[in-house]
Structure 1
Amino acid sequence: MVGAMVTVVTHPLVQHKLSVMRDVRTGVKEFRELAAEVSVLLAYEAMRDLELAPQTLDTPIQSGEFPMLSGKKLALVAILRAGLVMTDAIVGLVPAAKVGHLGMYRDPNTLKPVDYYNKLPADIAERRVFLTDPMLATGGSASAAIQSLKDAGAQSIKLMCILAAPEGIAVIERDHPEVEIVTAAIDPRLDSHGYIVPGLGDAGDRIYGTK
């Protein structure tokens, strides 16, 4: 744990895969696969507090009570476009989860978020929401996305990102102090263009092979 609402997943597999993602020599296919693998490992930690309740089941040997997921249903919401690779991977763990999409991009001049798409499950207020975006840099897009979720009625939100910067964390803690952040690492700072340093470049471009 780092602070009250930030969890850094320091598992060796997560850290190794993140390091390979950072490498400029890592190609699109491998980067995309690694992003998906890290996302699943982050979800394992982010969903650690899901509620369980005993349910009577018959094994091939005898009946017994065994823990099953209970409580609120889940929703996975991707901040487009880079968050898609995360939700696509995580939904394999929780196939009953509904999936939503929020289109946000950062204006390169103002570094402010621009909202261009919003499609969320109608019952988002009744679900625990896991918001995905590989990079938490300035925090503007993530904060705006969280506000969009709140405006739609969401009450339980966790933000999952592969890499975070202190500036982005500070924005989320200021704007949405109840939202937990789960990340693989916190890098030292942002550069003048709002990129995480040392970072791994533009996650969307590296996932989809664009510039």
Structure 2
Amino acid sequence: MANKLPPNVHVSTHPSVRAKLSQLRSSSTNAKETKALVHDIATMVGCDALAHGLSTVRTGTDMSPLGYEYTTEDISPSHISLVPILRSGLSMIDPLQALLPSPVPVHHLGMYREKSTLQPVEYYNNLPYHKAGDNTSVSELAIIVDPIIATGSTVCAAIDTLRDWGVSRIISVSILASEGGLQRAAQAWPEGVEFWVGGVDAETDERGMIKPGLGDIGDRLFLTVGK
């Protein structure tokens, strides 16, 4: 990588992630295969992210089928939410939910990039409302899922929204990012956000698309290429 990435950025070195990412890049990969590859890469990257970002706590005791007592454990923090960025982030909900021991709330953020400025515009937000000073409905940890970090503008906007909501920490899980986008996003809240990505490409083009990248992953997933 041309420039050293910030310490809160983690890029997968798993051989299977690299091989599946190579398959996902191909223009010949159809929608069904794209969905399966995103699922697989999200599972592997998410596994590393949660191993680093969660801990375990003892919760009591139980009995095994053979009648032996054992100590039960659960994850900490327990108050977690998944935050997919619409629409392509929807493809990463199931693999991340499957890695967690119990289902967690899913709070959607809808954002699109304005074509002329490449700046994010928020059009949907279903984070639970709470009064000032009352953070009982706010998750301690929010896990942003979005397959692509290109310019970094969208994930920065999502981070600002979640900070305003009141979260203590954020884990961002993505399939692919640009180096510049990661550099920018990592500065948004260095002490509060950890970024986990499957791979990194050096740059974006004049349209804000990663080179060589994955194309518009939302269009590929939902068969709307050329809309």
TM-score (norm 2): 0.87
Inter-partner Cα distance in structure 2 for 1:30 and 1:181: 25
Q: How does 1:1-211 map to 2 (within 5 A)?
A: 2-49=5-52, 50-54=54-58, 55-61=60-66, 62-94=68-100, 95-121=102-128, 125-178=138-191, 179-211=193-225
Deviation at 1:125, TM superposition (A): 2.6
Letter in 2 for 1:52: T
Deviation larger for 86-95 or 109-118: 86-95
Secondary structure of the residue aligned to 2:7 is coil
Deviation at 1:66, TM superposition (A): 4.2
Q: Which runs of 4+ in 1 moved over 6 A?
A: none
Letter in 1 for 2:208: G
How many residue pairs are counted as aligned between the two chains? 211
Secondary structure of the residue aligned to 2:224 is coil
Secondary structure of the residue aligned to 1:99 is coil
Letter in 2 for 1:173: A
Secondary structure of the residue aligned to 1:90 is helix
Is the contact made by 1:17 and 1:38 (CA closer than 8 Å) also made in structure 2? yes
Taking only aligned residues, the RMSD between alpha carbons, in angstroms, comes to 1.7
Gaps of 5+ in 2: 130-135
Secondary structure of the residue aligned to 2:208 is coil
Secondary structure of the residue aligned to 2:34 is helix
Inter-partner Cα distance in structure 2 for 1:71 and 1:96: 14
